[in-house]
Amino acid sequence: MTVTDTRPVHTAGSPDEPWWRQAVIYQVYPRSFADSDGDGIGDLPGITTHLSHLAELGVDALWLSPFYRSPQADGGYDVADYRDVDPLFGTLADFDALVARAHELRLRVLVDLVPNHTSDEHAWFRAALAAAPSSPERARYVFRDGRGPRGDEAPNNWRSTFGGPAWERTTSPDGTPGQWYLHLFDARQPDLDWSNPQVRAEFESVLRFWLDRGVDGFRVDVAHGLVKAAGLPDWDGPATLAEERDHLAAVASGGASVSGDGLVGGGLSAAQRVADAPTVVDAGTGEPVTGAGHHGPAWDQDGVHEVYRSWRAVLDAYPGERVLVAEAWVEPLSRLARYVRPDEMHQAFNFPYLTAGWAPSTLRRLIAASYAANDAVGAPTTWVLSNHDVVRHASRFGLADPTHRPNGIGARDEQPDATLGLRRARAASLLTLALPGSAYLYQGEELGLPEHTSLDDELRQDPTFRRTKGEQLGRDGCRIPLPWAADAPGLGFSPTGAAWLPQPPEFAPLALDRQRDVPGSTYELYRAALRLRREHALGTGGLTWLPGYPDEVLAFSVRDVVVVANFGTAPVDGPEGARPLLASPDVSASPTAEAGTVPGASTVWFIR
Ligand code: GLC
């Protein structure tokens, strides 16, 4: 599928567009960013001290994963009090100090909002357990009687995203088995009932609480899950993203019986099937799909959009450009774009891009489809390669199949090729940072950090590991404390050297102090990319493919920059008469990039 159509796939905007339409946003996972008090768990004062790192790197904003009061059954995505900081991470005063310092450094601050479920230790859930069936206390959650004569079968067949059933049976105060409650995630994360006006009012109040404290926006957790189909009907399709992915793979290879779920697979025409990886397209819209979407009655229900319209009104009443970002695992892209219609959220994570892997033809289609879907609703497209829920891309891309996305990698699994993975990761990051729109970085990717791929099972904390009885290793391997200083105890993460998860030996040479001001380092590559992205206003640029390159090359122009991303192994020529501006391989190690060619597994930015 070489490029022949050279009409722009996205047209340029003005460099003065609102910040969020072109922002680079850095995700901080507070537990693992920097520890100030020596207990081995990162905290808010630790983040504040290191904000200068983010300013120096050149990002526009940071997004903080949850730091609220929580029993930490799911790394804080189980919130017990939405209006307080967990003592593990500090105090509200520490939070205020963080925001003040960030704003001084011209960094915006987004916080994570977790509206789909609370912790089982939230006051509402405790009250619900203590109250009777059909009580107003229970009506804030999804309590149901069980099926079967004794009510000992779950109310429906839904399964938890983390494995096992999505229902837990309660025990009544008199010790007899009681009603069941729904939890799309861990049993310690009961789902709220969003048809209840009290739930809606409470979250609008929570939004105001943080807006009043000066936050610039919210990343909305599980934004596609809040509203469930009426009657909670059974669902026999894939329940987890791993199952979605396997389903798609079977569809693509022609092995699956394709039911009415809207996928075109085994019958792919020659044009639909591509050489580097089979691309599956949505039968209704023709858009590429990669298994980044949950399906069924628990997800992406139309009623959810009303919630975001009301939140948008809350944010719009505040001064400044405050934003809502959807974490919505929804496909195809046009369906995802419904979350960012003009009166809803501002951005949605582009998970189809993240899940496409190292696959040029799929990426080419996805990039075009992403712009088509978002441009149609006037929203910026976002780009992301890593976060706290997926294997780091420096490791994913070092697997024999670089489109594979295991849920964690353990010592008994295929070990990624670290050199190849990092080389490809740098190329992919340079591609990503050239794409118009907004980009998300996950802490540590600017250091080229790999996944921890040999963590002891006893240390694993992700509930997925337990709920799948070890079949899925889970996400701990991408959540390892950051290495700041190669020779300091605990690599400078904590003053005592303590770390809640051990850092693998590969982290030391990648510590920030080993890369800062070192030409060719991954850190300096990111820094240069962010500086040039700003100088050339790439974030608001248009995108036009350049013809004449082989299938395994993505070549396009954005403003005065030409980007050539070579996924193949043979070098290709850069555009004629253009001068290299930035190259993903260490240029001292790959002088060919200087000569105007693009080596395999590399991205080069050229200037005309
Ligand atoms: C989101 C978060 C993830 C969390 C889940 C349940 O997907 O990113 O870390 O486990 O929601 O809140």
Q: Is 216 in the pocket of ligand 1 (CB under 6 A)?
A: no
261 and 401 assigned to the same domain: no
Distance CA 361, CA 272 (A): 10
CB atoms within 10 A of CB 524: 16
The span from the CA of 482 to the CA of 40, in Å, is 11
Would you call 506 a catalytic residue per the annotation? Answer: no
- Regarding the beta carbon of 389 and ligand 1, being less than 6 Å apart is answered yes
Report if residue 232 sits inside a domain: yes
pLDDT given at position 245 = 83
**Which helix (H) or strand (E) segment is 104 a member of?**
helix 92-104
Domain assignment present for residue 564? The answer is no
Strand ranges for 127-224 from DSSP E: 143-144, 167-171, 177-182, 217-220
Do 109 and 242 lie in one domain? The reply is no
502 closest CA partner among 483, 487, 530, 523: 483
CA of 221 to the centre of ligand 1 (A): 6
Judged by phi (left if over 0) then psi (alpha if -120 to 50, else beta), residue 600 lies in: beta
Residues 128 and 209 in one domain: no
The residue to mutate among 74, 294, 349, having the most atoms of ligand 1 within 8 angstroms of its beta carbon, is 74
Which of 29, 77, 82, 226 has the most ligand 1 atoms within 8 A of CB, as the residue to mutate?
A: 77
> What does the alpha-carbon distance between residue 37 and residue 106 come to, in Å, rounded to a whole number?
26
CA-to-CA dists, residue 361 to 222, 272, 356, angstroms: 29, 10, 10
Is 566 part of any domain? no
Dihedrals phi, psi of 237, to nearest 5 degrees: -80, -175
Residues 382 and 508 in one domain: yes
Quick check: CB of 80 below 6 Å from ligand 1? no
Distance (angstroms) between ligand 1 centre and the Cα of 327 equals: 9
CATH classification at residue 146: 3.90.400.10
The answer to whether 424 and 416 have CB atoms below 8 angstroms apart is no
Count of structural domains within the chain: 3
| Position 490, amino acid | G
Is ligand 1 within 6 A of the CB of residue 351?
A: no
User: Does residue 193 have its Cβ closer than 6 Å to ligand 1?
Assistant: no
| CATH (domain of 57) | 3.20.20.80
Q: What range does the domain containing 309 cover?
A: 19-118+197-236+288-525
Q: Are residues 217 and 246 in the same domain?
A: no
Q: Provide the pLDDT for residue 276.
A: 57
18-28 in b/e form (b: 16+ CB < 10 A) is ebbbbbbbbbb
Q: Decide which of 500, 525, 550 is a domain's last residue.
A: 525
Place of tokens 């809207």: 262
Residue 264, token pair as written in the block: 């075109």
- Which amino acid is residue 27, in one-letter code? Q
Distance 473 CA to ligand 1 centre (A): 15
77 CA: nearest ligand 1 atom: 12
Let me know if 221 is a catalytic residue.
yes
Residue 192, helix vs strand vs coil: strand
Closest CA to 243 of 405, 467, 401: 405
pLDDT of residue 586: 77
Please give, one letter per residue, the 3-state secondary structure of 373-412: HHHHHCCCCEEECCCCCCCCHHHHCCCCCCCCCCCCCCCC
Does any domain span residue 326? yes
**Residue 186 CB–ligand 1 contact under 6 Å:** no
Binned average pLDDT, 10 residues per bin, the chain of 608 residues? 81 96 98 98 98 98 98 98 98 98 98 99 98 97 97 97 97 93 98 98 98 98 98 94 84 52 43 54 92 96 98 98 98 98 98 96 96 98 98 98 95 98 98 98 98 98 97 97 98 98 98 97 98 98 96 97 97 94 79 74 96
Instruction: Let me know if residue 2 belongs to a domain.
Output: no
- Residues 222, 338: one domain? yes
* 229 and 241, same domain (yes or no): no
Q: Report in angstroms the alpha-carbon separations of 292 from 244, 357, 463.
A: 8, 12, 21
274 and 299 assigned to the same domain: no
Instruction: Answer with the one of 245, 266, 287 that is the final residue of a domain.
Output: 287
Residues 295 and 311 in one domain: yes
4 Cα distance to chain centroid:
33
Report how far apart the first and last C-alpha atoms of the chain are (Å, whole number).
26
The CA 77 to ligand 1 mean position distance, Å, reads: 6
Same domain flag for 294 and 271? no
**Final residue before a domain boundary, out of 495, 510, 525:** 525
**Model pLDDT, residue 173:** 83
Element (DSSP H or E) covering residue 103? helix 92-104
226 in the same domain as 101: yes
Does residue 586 form part of some domain?
no
232 and 247 part of one domain: no
Q: Whose CA is nearest to atom 2 of ligand 1?
A: 221
**Set 221, 276, 446, 476: catalytic member:** 221
**Interval between CA 243 and ligand 1 midpoint (Å):** 17
SS (H, E, C) 299-350: CCCCCHHHHHHHHHHHHHCCCCCCEEEECCCCCCHHHHHHHHCCCCCCEECC
Q: Is 114 in the pocket of ligand 1 (CB under 6 A)?
A: yes
Q: Is residue 469 part of a domain?
A: yes
Interstrand relation of 167-171 and 280-282 (parallel, antiparallel or unpaired): unpaired
Whether 185 lines ligand 1, by a CB cut-off of 6 Å, is: yes
Distance CA 111, CA 315 (A): 14
Q: Is residue 365 part of a domain?
A: yes
